[in-house]
Amino acid sequence: MNLTLKIWRQKDSKAKGQMVDYKVTDISEHMSFLEMMDVLNEQLVNSGEEPVAFDHDCREGICGMCSMYINGEAHGPDRGVTTCQLHMRMFNDGDTITIEPFRAAAFPVIKDLVVDRMAFERIQQAGGYISVNTSGNTQDANSIPISKHAADEAMDAATCIGCGACVASCKNSSAMLFVGAKVSQYALLPQGQVEAVDRVKNMVAQMDLEGFGNCTNTGACEVECPKGISLENIARMNREYLSATLKG
């Protein structure tokens, strides 16, 4: 395939960015989207130009770093995949593909397609953990009664990789799906009950402090989430928060 790429280029966080057009040729439909970007960058380096900066690590849909806004959709036109799992067979010969960084006040652009998502890390640090000492007196997992339904829901919530697609897809740049997932994975398990009140209050407070917007209730976040995190986690977070507030 021969493609035209319209890519956001921005030297640093203080510079004024702009869209720049590039041509790539002989792109195989079997390539991943990031492999196509590698071809472009090799082309740019060989011609003495600066390559396009973009985040990536595992390239297996686990790390959540490869966040790109492709043709107006977080991670591109496919469903249930991250950008590194998106294949070029989703596009046609002669297509023009627009590639931008995630747009959110809480995700400032560092360079080109790379954004600072440390806001998610700070939310995690505010309460997304269990501080109870579980070492030295470890119990067998089967000795703690947990219903299969609760265990399955907790595991589903825990699959969130913190890529930020929910934020990029939301009109208000809301992080409630991310925070809801991180609250839910503990709220559903007995190990998470000890700090449940402080956890949800602290994580929601940090989310607001970071400048994320409120939920729009349109469900775009669930649609674009590469791990299919359910909106039910937002409802659970709201219930947990109300309960924590009433407890004081």
Question: Which residues are CB-neighbours of 75 under 8 A, at least 6 positions away?
Answer: 66, 67, 68, 81, 82, 83, 86, 163, 165, 224, 226
More confident call, 245 vs 140 = 245
| Strands 96-100, 3-9: pairing kind | parallel
Q: Cα separation of 63 and 47, whole Å?
A: 31
pLDDT greater than 90 at residue 80: yes
| Span 97-101, average pLDDT | 98
Question: Which residues are CB-neighbours of 220 under 8 A, at least 6 positions away?
Answer: 169, 170, 171
Looking at the DSSP bridge assignments, the partners of residue 20 are 7
Q: What is the pLDDT of residue 121?
A: 97
Q: Cα separation of 224 and 83, whole Å?
A: 11
* Average pLDDT of the chain to the nearest whole number: 95
Q: What is the pLDDT of residue 132?
A: 72
Q: Cα separation of 36 and 143, whole Å?
A: 50
More confident call, 131 vs 43 = 43
pLDDT-derived band of residue 140, with 50, 70 and 90 as boundaries? confident
Domain 117-133+141-247 in the same topology as domain 3-111: no
| Span 193-201, average pLDDT | 95
Report domain extents, the chain. Answer: 3-111, 117-133+141-247
| Span 17-32, average pLDDT | 98
CATH architecture type of domain 3-111: Roll (3.10)
Cβ neighbour number for residue 224 with a 10 Å cutoff: 21
Hey, what CATH class is 117-133+141-247 in?
mainly alpha
| Span 33-62, average pLDDT | 97
Q: What is the pLDDT of residue 213?
A: 96
Cβ neighbour number for residue 49 with a 10 Å cutoff: 12
User: Which of 72, 75, 74 lies closest to 34, judged by CA?
Assistant: 75
**Residue with the two structure tokens 């890529």:** 163
| Span 7-22, average pLDDT | 97
pLDDT greater than 90 at residue 138: no
Q: What is the pLDDT of residue 134?
A: 64
Q: What is the pLDDT of residue 248?
A: 74
> Are the C-beta atoms of residues 40 and 52 closer than 8 Å to each other?
yes
Beta-strand runs (E) in the chain: 3-9, 18-24, 69-70, 73-74, 96-100, 109-111, 114-115
| Span 108-120, average pLDDT | 97
3-state secondary structure of 45: helix
Token pair in block for residue 150: 């609760």
- Intra-chain end-to-end CA distance of the chain, in Å: 60
26: left (phi over 0), alpha (psi -120 to 50) or beta: left
Q: How much is the pTM?
A: 0.93
> Are the C-beta atoms of residues 187 and 226 closer than 8 Å to each other?
no
| Span 122-145, average pLDDT | 81
